[in-house]
Amino acid sequence: MTKPMLQVALDTDDTATALNVARQVSDVVDVIEAGTLLVYQDGMDAVRNLRALVPDKILLADVKDADAGGHIGKVCKEAGADWMTCINAATLPTMINAQKEIEVQVELYEGWDNMERAQQWLDNGITQVVYHQSRDAKFAGQTWGEHDLQEVKKLINMGFKVSVTGGVKPEVLKLFEGVDVYTFIAGRAITNADDPHAAAQSFRDEINRIWK
C-alpha cells in the first residue's frame, strides 16, 4: 500500500498570503493547491506565483471547471499547474478536452453517485477523483464517517486515485486506515493555524503513523 500524499489547499483571499503559507509548508507537503477561493480573487496570477515559488512541487489549480475544458485546461497548464479540477457535473467532452491539456481531477459534489458515468471518466483516461465534503455542508453539521469510508473504497475499487478533502483534520485520517487514499487535502487546518508548518507536520506525522 502506498502512503497517501499530503496537499495544502490555499483558499486565501490573496496571493501574498498563499505564498506566505506555501513558503512555510512546502518542505512538508507533496502538492500545493491554488484554491478555488484564491483563484476567484487573483485568477491565474496566483497559480503563476505559486509555480515560481515551488518549481518542483505538484501544483493544482482548483478551478472546479464546468465548461470549456480545453480552453481552461490550456490556461491552467500555461500558468504552471500540473493538475486542474473539473466539477462532476461537467459533461464528458468538457473533461476529455481538459484532460488533453492537463491532468484532471474530478471533484465530487452533489449527484456524482452514478457509476456508469464514473466508469466513462475512467474509460477516457481520467483516473483522479476528489471525494469532497463541501464547506457549506460542514457548516451545516456534516462530519466524516462510515458512509464516506465506503464511498471512498468503492471508488478505489473501481480503479480511481481518490483524494479526500473537506474540513479534514489530522484526527480524521484514522477513519481511512488500511485504505489506499491517494492524497489528503487540508486547507483551513493548515492556513488558519498559528504555526502552519507545525500543522502540516501533524498531518504528515499521522500519515506516517497510520500508513507505515
Chain contacts with ligand 5RP (rule: CB under 6 A): 9, 11, 35-36, 62, 135, 165-168, 185-189
Between residues 13 and 115, which has the closer beta carbon with respect to ligand 5RP? Answer: 13
- The CA-based angle 187-35-6, given to 5 degrees, is 45
Host H or E run for residue 101: helix 92-101
Report the nearest approach of ligand 5RP to the CB of residue 190 (Å): 8
Residues 6+ apart with CB under 8 A from 179: 149, 152, 153, 156
Report the nearest approach of ligand 5RP to the CB of residue 50 (Å): 14
Residue with the shortest CB distance to ligand 5RP: 187
Report the nearest approach of ligand 5RP to the CB of residue 116 (Å): 25
Between residues 21 and 95, which has the closer beta carbon with respect to ligand 5RP? Answer: 21
Between residues 73 and 170, which has the closer beta carbon with respect to ligand 5RP? Answer: 170
How far, in Å, CA of 209 to CA of 3, rounded?
A: 10
Query: Which residue, 68, 119, 123, is CA-closest to 97?
Result: 68
Between residues 35 and 196, which has the closer beta carbon with respect to ligand 5RP? Answer: 35
Q: Cell numbers 505564498 correspond to what residue?
A: 19
How far, in Å, CA of 14 to CA of 37, rounded?
A: 9
Between residues 40 and 157, which has the closer beta carbon with respect to ligand 5RP? Answer: 40
Beta-carbon-side half-sphere exposure of residue 34 (alpha carbons within 13 Å): 35
Report the nearest approach of ligand 5RP to the CB of residue 187 (Å): 2
Report the nearest approach of ligand 5RP to the CB of residue 192 (Å): 8
Between residues 135 and 197, which has the closer beta carbon with respect to ligand 5RP? Answer: 135
What CA–CA distances, in Å, run from 170 to 13, 84, 198? 24, 25, 12
Helices (H) and strands (E) in the chain, counts: 9, 8
Report the nearest approach of ligand 5RP to the CB of residue 85 (Å): 8
